[in-house]
Structure 1
Amino acid sequence: MTEQRYLADRFQEHRTHLKAVAYRMLGSLSEAEDAVQEAWLRLARSDDGAIDNLGGWLTTVVGRVCLDMLRSRRSRRETPLETRLPDPVVTDPAADPEHAALIADSVGLALLVVLESLTPAERLAFVLHDLFGLPFDEIAPIVDRTPAATRKLASRARGRVRASAPKPDPDRAAQRRAVDAFLSAAREGDFAALVSILDPDVVLRGDTGALPDVVVLRGRDAVAGQLETFHRMAAIAITRPALVNGTEGQLNFVDGELFSIMSFSVVDGRITEIDILSDAERLSTLDLTNLD
């Protein structure tokens, strides 16, 4: 076996983990793949004999690459939270290992949306420490801060996450009951039933790709006010239940084509967040082969 092949095989052992890190950092599957590829290129150019802990070294490299990508977004005055929803990871209960790793630890769309609102340094500190357990003294050089300052970055991010992304009900059966109740209310055009399943502070985000910003509706009255739209969609769509980032959701097909993906966050039996991706261009790039 050549040295390059041996190095490639060692890198491949870490690829799934690296993509999971990059996805949480970027909220984009294609950009996560780009970050992982860049880590491979840097490894191929390095003296691997001087690397004691390859997994840690690669995680640090991916963190740096993602940090640069996030800062580049900011420099272009892009605000991901306002311009697009994060890419969803759609699976069935028997997900393959790579998809399972991407959505482990309940990394739902609601959490990713909150992460999009953090500064790049806050996001990196939170993701690497809270989600992957890296110590602050290893994260600090990446963000060019002291370990104490890095700890504060993660603490601020953690506070934002706890305030804005409540943990969904872990019981998937309870999640599905709430989603089914929503769908039933939509099909029947039943306003009272719809209101009963929505949390008073429910948030709906819709990304069609046709507008410069994600459409955001806040509050039960505003979301329930879309009943006619939900009813029209229910009348023409064929739906398929699916897990979207580990929580209950559904795929909507119109005339045999994927029209939208819906993700639901359910807390204490009520729907707290609904995310709808109906951007045809982005939908066409998603890998749904694991559902076959």
Structure 2
Amino acid sequence: MDGKADTRPATETFVAHRNLLFTVAYQLLGSAADAEDVVQETWLRWTGVDLDSVRDRRAYLVRIVTRQALTRLRTLGRRKESYVGPWLPEPLLTTPDVAEDVELADSVSMAMLLVLETLAPTERAVFVLRDVFDVGYDEIAEAVDKTPAAVRQIAHRARAHVADRRPRGVTSPDQTRAALSAFQRAVETGDLQGLLDVLAPDVVVLSDAGGLKQAARKPVVGADKVARFLAARWDAVGARTTVEPAQVNGAPAVILRLDGELDGVVAALVEDGLVTGLYFMRNPEKLSHVARETALSR
């Protein structure tokens, strides 16, 4: 023996839970890049922990990643205040098993992540840990530096907040895929009426380019305005654009390529067979995680 401590147990435990830690961080931040940084910070802290003193290693890791994500979340909030145009979560090309876990897929959907954006940082952490990952109140209390009684109150308040804002209808992946296919055909052919047929009257388009590419600086609201907005874009670049079906954030979406290069991702919120929300990500700094699949877990 060379006198060095055996780091294999710490490494093995971390690797076993890494996908979980990334998923927690991503749901708290809505940014894959920041989530990766937080996971790395968690690893650095984990290597200094005396494992013999840890009763539940998974819970301890979740506690570390939550604390690091909360610190990062407050910084991220300040960055969003000066962000150019609408801010959207960073899209992830997800593995097929994410879609098979209905609760996980719902929790990482664009629509749900945008709802989570309306929560205060501690509320978001409590909701995610309790309702998505089923973490006990005592463990959450240690992660957010609150009493278990306070955590229960925060969880109740956050749950009510989310219930008031989350999409009402339950849509199957097949319905979303069908609506996106109709949307794709209508846009590619310039068929304005065909496009209107798949858009809800109060449909909203959010375009995120971060000021780095051309995009609508404000939400586009209403079927007529959205149809004209999309038709105009397709008239300008449609011949140079290809559309590929993909699985993004656990749901059907499309990836756009302009002259063969990645140009954006379009995710959709579909309710009762109609598109009620379109999320158009064009910010090149937020597209790196659609080049390869990201594994998530609970």
TM-score normalised to structure 2 length: 0.85
Distance 1:83 1:230, change over 3 A: closer
Counterpart of 1:50? 53
Instruction: Kindly state the Cα deviation for residue 220 of structure 1 after the two structures are TM-superposed.
Output: 2.5
Counterpart of 1:12? 15
Number of residues of Structure 1 aligned to a counterpart in Structure 2: 286
Residue of 240, 243, 250 corresponding to 2:244: 240
Distance 1:141 1:78, change over 3 A: farther
Counterpart of 2:204? 203
Q: 2 CA distance for matches of 1:289 and 1:23?
A: 16
SS in 2 for 1:281: helix
Counterpart of 1:132? 133
Distance 1:287 1:278, change over 3 A: closer
Counterpart of 1:277? 281
**Segment drifting more, 131-140 vs 229-238:** 229-238
1:72 aligned partner, one-letter code:
T
Distance 1:167 1:41, change over 3 A: farther
| Structure 1: tracts of 5 or more residues without a match | none
SS in 1 for 2:277: strand
Instruction: Kindly state the Cα deviation for residue 139 of structure 1 after the two structures are TM-superposed.
Output: 1.3
What do the CA deviations read for 1:229-256 (whole angstroms, capped 9, x no partner)?
3432433211110011111111111111
Q: 1 CA distance for matches of 2:290 and 2:187?
A: 28
Counterpart of 1:144? 145
Q: 2 CA distance for matches of 1:207 and 1:84?
A: 6
Counterpart of 1:104? 104
Distance 1:223 1:213, change over 3 A: closer
Counterpart of 2:182? 181
Distance 1:163 1:193, change over 3 A: farther
Q: 1 CA distance for matches of 2:116 and 2:83?
A: 10
What do the CA deviations read for 1:87-120 (whole angstroms, capped 9, x no partner)?
1111464x6x8x988x933221111111122110
Instruction: Kindly state the Cα deviation for residue 25 of structure 1 after the two structures are TM-superposed.
Output: 0.7
Report the aligned-residue RMSD: 2.8
Residue of 11, 34, 37 corresponding to 2:37: 34
Equivalent pair of 1:189/1:227 in contact (CA under 8 Å): no
Distance 1:76 1:224, change over 3 A: closer
1:267 has 2:271 as partner: yes
SS in 2 for 1:85: coil
Distance 1:242 1:146, change over 3 A: same
Q: 1 CA distance for matches of 2:203 and 2:7?
A: 52
Counterpart of 2:158? 157
SS in 2 for 1:145: coil
**Segment drifting more, 59-68 vs 223-232:** 223-232
Distance 1:217 1:279, change over 3 A: same
Distance 1:226 1:108, change over 3 A: same
Q: 1 CA distance for matches of 2:63 and 2:184?
A: 43
2:122 aligned partner, one-letter code:
A
Instruction: Kindly state the Cα deviation for residue 83 of structure 1 after the two structures are TM-superposed.
Output: 5.3
| Structure 2: tracts of 5 or more residues without a match | none
TM-score normalised to structure 1 length: 0.87
